[in-house]
Amino acid sequence: MARTFFVGGNFKLNGSKASIKEIVERLNNADLAENVEVVLCPPAPYLDYTVSLLNRPQLAVGAQNTYLKASGAYTGENSVEQIQELGAKWVILGHSERRTLFHEDDKFVADKTKFALDQGAGVILCIGETLEEKKAGTTLEVVERQLTAVIAEVKDWSKVVIAYEPVWAIGTGLAATAEDAQDIHKSIRKFLAAKLGDKVAEETRILYGGSANGSNVASFKDKADVDGFLVGGASLKPEFVDIVNSRK
């Protein structure tokens, strides 16, 4: 069975009611491909507002982060139940900015992933190597280490989407070539098959992230193991529609 094309829009710490309304209305009114799932991830204060604007079943909302406890004395955190009550169905976990700026290690990301899945949320699980790791030739070692931590905690992968995001490409304007991304995605899928079985490996969607934009996504169209994109800055711009339609 073919994997449904998936495009996530990570707004990061950007946006206002006015800009988010413009983004969502553009998607609501666009001639979108039918065989694509789109998840918009605005800052937490705008989750409820974004959900209220959606009028197409293929559009959904996700949070950019959640904690691994349901409630308690965790100032500044968001619980899975809280984002779900606002209508969010997904959460991004393990993003490189969380790993580097907020020092979230592999085990912490794995624990958050397990908790979110146990609460019924879908998880966009981010993995990827730094420039130093890329230069050292340890890309696969890094992504396999990051995945191994999650594999130790998670048994049901049906609501996990993996986003391979080379850290050196995020926000830099640099991007892996479609051929390089395909090679790494294929290796990731092979690793999943070895650890979780062929069925999980074949059904799990693997996205490319890291400066994916309207001008470079077309080159990924025929790559068998690239199942979509996790988009940063370009998700705030009109070209996001072109990215959503890049397999149309």
Whether 95 sits among the annotated catalytic residues: the reply is yes
**Type of residue found at 28:** N
Tokens of residue 56, six digits: 């197409």
Active-site option among 37, 144, 165, 185: 165
90 contacts 63 by C-beta, under 8 angstroms: yes
- Report which secondary-structure segment, H or E, holds 70: none
Q: How buried is residue 35: exposed, middle or buried, by Cβ count under 10 Å (0-12/13-18/19+)?
A: exposed
Q: Is 91 helix (H, G, I), strand (E, B) or coil?
A: strand
Measured CA distances, 69 to 103, 108, 122, 161 (Å): 18, 12, 16, 22
Is residue 133 annotated as a catalytic residue, yes or no? no
| Amino acid at site 196 | L
Q: Which of 130, 194, 186 is nearest to 162 (CA)?
A: 186
Identify the active-site residue in 37, 95, 97, 129.
Answer: 95
> The dihedral of CA 225, 145, 158, 167: what is its sign?
negative
Determine the Cα–Cα distance for residues 233 and 33; give it in Å rounded to an integer: 21
Catalytic residues: 95, 165
